[in-house]
Structure 1
Amino acid sequence: MHRKTAVIGSESFLARYVVAKLQSSHSVCGYSRSNHSGIPVHVPFDYPSVKLDFPALLDFDNIVYCAGSGIQANKSDDFVFELNTYLPIELANFLKKNGFQGKLVTFGSYAEIGNNSEEKHFTEQEIVASLLSSPNDYGISKRLLTRFFQSARLDFGFYHLILPTIYGPGENPKRLLPYLVHSIARGETPVLTSGNQTRQYVHVRDVADLISLFLDSDAPSGIYNVPCVETMLVKDIVSLVYETMNATRPREEERLKRYDESMKFLALDPTKTRNIFPEWRPRIAINESLQEYNA
């Protein structure tokens, strides 16, 4: 019998891939404002006007919390903390008080590291302990949630996954890869930062595969970094995109100042996760996936 899995925020970028991965082996119920993905079982959820029915979630074997306010969302500060921090904490505490025995998956971000310039791959414990300042409320909201899961005494299985930069078809078109691909395809000169920030990239399909592994495993509850394929300077990623698309990079590019330039080096240490799943590796590289954006 298929396990019942609730995906909260089922129309989000990551959630759509999680649903696609799980549908063959799980009975998936989506919670979101709309249901463009056509999930057969769907429950309206549009925080704060349409709230989650917490008691109904007790009937599920797994809950994957993909709802959140991202960096590009332009929402109020209060909304960012409510959706990214307070609501998942309220959910976790409700599940504990009411004897939930399934698994809960939530997400952090390597933006929690903060304004780091040291060339260092942070372990899960080092992310939890980071005292570096954060350039935005998104990073702070995720940091608070991660610290909750570090300290919470929960009686059910939980996996709090720290994400690097995830990418793939369907992501916000203002993010680096789709913006670059479409600018080059239209013969336009993109407006970019200096590109001196180091970032890690992992394809969203690889992340969905890893989430499925956690749900199907007996891995100990806790915080886990999501391993990546590539750790690169942003300007080198830009060059890779031009090279892969057989395009000539303009000599003169307009420069853009961004909030994240103060976070010079963001990288995750994958050791803990790889020890749990030694056979699993992210499979998709940036240059192999660019054609998907034009599909």
Structure 2
Amino acid sequence: MRIVISGGTGYVGARLTSALMAAGHEVAVISRSSGVTEAGPARILYEGESQGLARDLLAWRPDYAVHLAADVRKGHSPADVDALVASNVTFPMHFVNACIEAKVKRFVNISTFSTFSRPDEYSPQTFYAATKRATEDLLTFFHQAELLEVCSLCFYDVYGPGQAHQRFLPALIRSIQSGEAMTMSKGEQEICFLHVDDAVEAVRTALFSDSAWSDSDSNIFTVYGDEVLILRDVPGIVAQAAGLALPEVMPTLPYRPREIMRFAPPYDRLPGWKPNIHFRTGVAAILQGQSTLA
């Protein structure tokens, strides 16, 4: 298969690209710079409009598409708005229209659980979440009105090796390994970590399994890990996995506005997929510098 990916050089996207290429698929990534690397995926240029992207996709002729690219900043000041809308609404609309022109068969969109800060009610936690929901809704139109199979996967908290330190879990691991004190909230939130390799397998399931494709009007699913934890318990779990003493944890940070306190998936879990990496196993592998991939 030929598969085109936006966000193919990001944290999940890079692992997905490698997994697909290792399985023998041809992969192209949407990029601000064109060309191809010697051993890597092809690059398809995006210059801020859909016509050139459609022309290049038509020339490359992908079978399937995955949309992972996103601007994940949580602010919504006037300086943030244009960038968030451009990345999270305008670009995916250019991408999906180009895919329709290129006769792509399936389009998998990666979204977020944070569109529901309260259970059973659309209540976006951030402006970022609102832009992701806008794209979900717009893609529902293409799913219903165009000859393109579209589904959206709402990921929960992704973790794994080599993740940026600004995320909670990498910062916690660094604190435990260094013995330095760390600050956090009171930690009453429920959290369900999703290992990056399970996230990759979810995308592969959505691409290649017919179970994810139905006559549903929306085709939106959630993707999450195998265990719901209370955030305040996580430092002790990680310290135990590391075999190290737990440093001082100061619960002095306030909760974020519209903090998500309860694990309440808004949609059904992706059919035909389940997580394989237990949180403690995934954390132990990170601490040991190992991969969970077979």
For the aligned pair, the TM-score class normalised by the smaller chain equals 0.7 to 0.9
Letter in 1 for 2:43: V
Per-residue CA distance 1:162-192 (angstroms, 9 max, x = gap): 1111111122211111111111111111121
Aligned mates of 1:46, 1:292 — CA distance in 2: 37
| Residue of structure 2 equivalent to 1:188 | 180
- SS of alignment partner, residue 193 of structure 2: strand
| Residue of structure 1 equivalent to 2:18 | 20
Task: State the 1:255 CA deviation.
Answer: 2.0
Residues 1:43 and 2:43 are matched in the alignment: yes
Task: State the 1:272 CA deviation.
Answer: 5.0
Q: Taking structure 1 as the reference length, what is the TM-score of the superposition?
A: 0.81
Aligned mates of 1:164, 1:144 — CA distance in 2: 18
Q: Taking structure 2 as the reference length, what is the TM-score of the superposition?
A: 0.81
Residues 1:281 and 2:280 are matched in the alignment: no
CA contact (8 A) 1:7 1:65 kept: yes
Per-residue CA distance 1:116-147 (angstroms, 9 max, x = gap): 2xxx5xxxxx5xxx343x34211111121122
Aligned mates of 2:257, 2:278 — CA distance in 1: 23
Aligned mates of 2:203, 2:249 — CA distance in 1: 42
| Residue of structure 1 equivalent to 2:243 | 246
Task: State the 1:250 CA deviation.
Answer: 4.2
Aligned mates of 2:96, 2:27 — CA distance in 1: 20
Aligned mates of 1:261, 1:247 — CA distance in 2: 34
Q: 1:284 to 1:149 in 2, by over 3 A?
A: same
CA contact (8 A) 1:199 1:232 kept: yes
Aligned mates of 1:261, 1:218 — CA distance in 2: 36
Q: Identify the match of residue 3 of structure 2 among 2, 5, 8.
A: 5
Question: What number of residue pairs does the alignment pair up?
Answer: 275
Q: 1:231 to 1:138 in 2, by over 3 A?
A: same
CA RMSD of aligned residues (A): 3.0
Task: State the 1:227 CA deviation.
Answer: 3.8
Residues 1:111 and 2:114 are matched in the alignment: yes
| Residue of structure 2 equivalent to 1:177 | 169
| Residue of structure 2 equivalent to 1:78 | 82
Q: 1:234 to 1:71 in 2, by over 3 A?
A: farther
Q: 1:111 to 1:52 in 2, by over 3 A?
A: farther
Percent same amino acid at aligned positions? 19
Aligned mates of 2:39, 2:19 — CA distance in 1: 13
Query: Unaligned stretches of 5+ in structure 2?
Result: 290-294
Aligned mates of 1:40, 1:20 — CA distance in 2: 9
CA contact (8 A) 2:110 2:154 kept: yes
Q: 1:178 to 1:92 in 2, by over 3 A?
A: same
Task: State the 1:73 CA deviation.
Answer: 9.1
Structure ranking higher on relative contact order (CA contacts 8 Å, 6+ apart): 1
| Residue of structure 1 equivalent to 2:53 | 53
Residues 1:89 and 2:61 are matched in the alignment: no
Q: 1:71 to 1:288 in 2, by over 3 A?
A: farther
| Residue of structure 2 equivalent to 1:65 | 67
| Residue of structure 2 equivalent to 1:267 | 264
- SS of alignment partner, residue 257 of structure 1: coil
Q: 1:136 to 1:89 in 2, by over 3 A?
A: same
CA contact (8 A) 1:135 1:259 kept: no
Query: Unaligned stretches of 5+ in structure 1?
Result: 121-125
Letter in 2 for 1:146: E
Letter in 2 for 1:161: L
Task: State the 1:239 CA deviation.
Answer: 2.3
Runs of 4+ in 1 over 4 A off after TM superposition: 44-49, 72-75, 269-272
Aligned mates of 1:79, 1:7 — CA distance in 2: 20
Letter in 2 for 1:56: D
| Residue of structure 1 equivalent to 2:126 | 136
Task: State the 1:248 CA deviation.
Answer: 3.1
| Residue of structure 1 equivalent to 2:206 | 214
